[in-house]
Amino acid sequence: MINLRKYGQAPFNVAVIHGGPGAPGEMAPVARELSPHFGVLEPIQTAASLEGQLQELYAVLDRNGDLPLTLIGWSWGAWLSFIFSAHYPLMVKKLIIVGSGPFEEKYATNIMKTRLSRLTEKERAEVQSIMRTFNDPSIKDKNSLFHRFGKLLTKADTYDPLTLDTDVLETQFDIHQSVWKEAVEFRKNGELLRLGEKIQCPVVAIHGNHDPHPHEGVKIPLSLILREFRFILLRNCGHHPWLERDARSRFYDILRKELHFNKYTKEQ
In tens, the pLDDT along 13-44 reads 999 999 999 999 999 999 999 999 999 999 99
Q: Is the pLDDT of residue 264 over 90?
A: no
pTM of the predicted protein model: 0.94
The pLDDT value given to residue 266: 39
Q: In the structure, what pLDDT confidence band is assigned to residue 1 with cuts at 50, 70 and 90?
A: low
pLDDT of residue 139: 86
Please check whether residue 42 is in contact with residue 1, taking contact to mean a CB–CB distance below 8 angstroms.
Answer: no
Are 70 and 258 in contact, with CB atoms under 8 Å apart? yes
Pairing mode, strands 92-98 and 229-234: unpaired
pLDDT of residue 115: 98
The values of phi and psi at residue 150, to 5°, are -65, -40
Q: How far apart are CA 84 and CA 268, in angstroms?
A: 27
Domain positions in the chain: 4-109+159-267
Q: Is the pLDDT score of 140 beyond 90?
A: no
Q: Average pLDDT of 176-196?
A: 97
Alpha helix ranges (H) inside the chain: 28-34, 50-64, 76-87, 111-117, 121-134, 143-157, 173-188, 191-194, 216-225, 248-267
User: What does the longest C-alpha to C-alpha distance in the chain come to?
Assistant: 60
Residue 261: pLDDT band (50, 70, 90) is: low
Report the candidate in 21, 129, 35 with the shortest Cα–Cα distance to residue 76: 21
Q: Yes or no: say if 138 and 220 are a contact pair by the CB < 8 Å rule.
A: no
Q: Which pLDDT score, from 0 to 100, does residue 186 have?
A: 96
Mean pLDDT of the chain: 95
Own/partner pairs for 225-230, CB < 8 Å, 24+ apart?
A: 225/193, 225/194, 225/196, 225/197, 226/196, 226/199, 227/199, 227/200, 228/201, 228/202, 228/203, 229/202, 229/203, 229/204, 229/205, 230/202, 230/203, 230/204, 230/205
The whole-angstrom separation of Cα 27 and Cα 7 is 12
Instruction: Check whether 144 has a pLDDT greater than 80.
Output: yes
Closest CA to 216 of 109, 65, 58, 57: 109
Mean pLDDT of the 110-135 span:
97
CA distances for 97 relative to 172, 241, 247, angstroms? 23, 12, 16
**pLDDT category of residue 267 using cuts at 50, 70 and 90:** very low
Tell me the pLDDT band of 90, cut-offs 50, 70 and 90: very high
CA-wise closest residue to 258 among 91, 70, 73: 70
Confidence of residue 165 (pLDDT cuts 50, 70, 90): very high
Cross-strand pairs, 161: 244
> Which of 205, 187, 217 shows the shortest CA–CA distance to 83?
187
Q: Kindly state the average pLDDT of the residues 132-138.
A: 92
pLDDT at residue 268 tops 80: no
Of 22, 7, 9, the residue nearest 72 (C-alpha): 7
The CA distance from 197 to 85, in Å, is 11
In the structure, what pLDDT confidence band is assigned to residue 83 with cuts at 50, 70 and 90?
A: very high
Does the pLDDT value for residue 237 go beyond 90? yes
Query: 4-109+159-267 sits in which CATH class?
Result: alpha beta
Q: What DSSP designation does 167 have?
A: -
Evaluate if residue 50 carries a pLDDT over 60.
yes
d(CA 142, CA 69): 35
pLDDT-above-70 percentage for the chain: 96
